[in-house]
Structure formats: structure tokens, C-alpha cells
Amino acid sequence: MSLNKLEPIVRSDLHHEVISRIVDLLIDLESGSRLPSERELGEQLRVGRSTIREALRALACMGAVEVRRGDGIYAGSIDESILKKLVQLGLVLRKTRWKDVIEVRRLLESQAVMIASTRWNDEDMGDLTRISDQLSRFIGAQAVSSPDASRLDLEFHLAVSAATHNEMLVFLVQSIRGLLETWIKKGFAGGRLQIEEIVSEHNSILGAMQDRDPTLAARVMGEHIDKSSERLLGDLDRDQLIVQSALLEGV
């Protein structure tokens, strides 16, 4: 994309749309490339400099751009962590609905566990067993540390994807799961997510993988995600946009 070929914005959601346009520009730039100035961006997109500044501030917090006072705006080094954030931001900006995120997560993780069931090695199974054992220690606890429980739940799903030995699948699972992370932490803290149920479902997934039964593994993973979604987001309108939810705190 040429640096002077940005099209004017005609939609009303200026802040998110400006971020989207700048992200499109960044994708085609190398790290350290200089972007147009705030004034030039504002003129090309036909928005005020305050809107441009707000969008750049959000991208700078991610590390996607670097604003050097008195020097200019430069493309940041887009490493894997920043790329995941941009993927998540892209889903928000594209008016993604919760039901769509849940459907994609189900498809991805069901496919991941099918592949993992035929590819896992001793190290993979050791990681999954260790994580499951650690999470099971929370069963019956008087007080559950939501960050610890949430972390172990996340680690289990990422370990399943890692057992596919497919880096793209791992990346996609991490990106989708990141959108749900705030709600998952709130679910543990608020008692909507029951450790005993989650451990039981994880063990069913683990057993199917140990038996190298990809069909059963995919079925129990799908059932687990369906149940988790009901427990987690039961009071949330599935047609609600991600952009309208609490997950945008900090975006």
C-alpha cells in the first residue's frame, strides 16, 4: 500500500476505523519504516488530528507503532505477541459477534485435538497430565485463585494445540482464546466456572488423546467448549458485538 493512497473514512465509528486503516498500512511496512505524519494521516482520512492521535496511542501501547516526539511515527517490530493483539483487534474492528468467536473456537480446538491425538509425544502428554493434576488440586478448595485457575485452564488448551506440532494452529488458538480471557478470569472469580466440572471434562479429553482416538477427542472437546461457553457467557447476548463488551477495556 502506498503511503499516500489511504482512502477517506465514510463510516461513523472513527476511532476504530482509523486504527483499522493504520493497521492495514502497517501490514505492508517493514519495522522502522516511517509513516505519514499526524497531519498527513488526518488529511488523507479526513478526520481530526485528535482522532489520529488517539488511534496511534492505542497502537503504540501494543508496540505496533513508535511515536518519536519531534521526529515522526515509525512502524514497530511486529513480533508474535503484537501480531496476536492485532489479530484480536482486527476481530473487534470487523464487528465480530460473540457467537462467531465461540463457533470458530469450537472448530479450531476440535480440529486441533483431532490432530494432536495422532501426533502427541511423551513430552506433550507429560505437560497435559501435569497441568490437569495441578488444576485438580483446586477441587474443594475454600477459595480459588482465579488467576491461577484461569492460567492452568489456558495452559491445558494451549498444550493440546502444541501437541499438534502445527505452529499456525497454536497461533490461532492463542489468538481466539485471548479474546475470551477477561471473561474466563471473571468466570472463575465469580464462581460461574466450577473447577470439578472443568477437570472432569479435561480428563475426558486427555483420555481420548491417550487412546489416540481423534473422533472421540474432537467430540468431547466440542462438548467441553459448548458447556464452558454456556457457563461463561450464559448471561451475555450472543449477538452482541465484541466491541460492546468489557473485553475492550485496555484495547
- Full set of structural domains in the chain with CATH: 14-78 (1.10.10.10), 90-248 (1.20.120.530)
For residues 135 and 199, is the Cβ–Cβ distance under 8 A?
yes
Give the 3-state secondary structure of residue 142.
coil
The pLDDT assigned to 2 comes to 59
Which of 32-46, 56-70, 79-93, 143-157: highest mean pLDDT?
32-46
11-15, 71-75, 216-220, 238-242: segment of lowest average pLDDT? 238-242
19 in Cβ contact with 89 (< 8 Å)? yes
- Residue type (1 letter), 185: K
pLDDT category at 240 given cuts 50, 70, 90 is low
Global confidence as pTM: 0.64
Between 34 and 3, residue with greater pLDDT: 34
How far apart (Å, rounded) are the C-alpha atoms in residues 37 and 70? 11
Highest mean pLDDT among 44-58, 91-105, 175-189 belongs to 44-58
Cα distances (angstroms) measured from residue 84 to each of 177, 178, 209: 10, 8, 27
pLDDT the model gives residue 122: 98
Q: What is the pLDDT of residues 86-141, one digit of tens each?
A: 666 666 655 667 778 788 889 999 999 999 999 999 999 999 999 999 999 888 76
Contact 56, 73 (CB under 8 A): yes
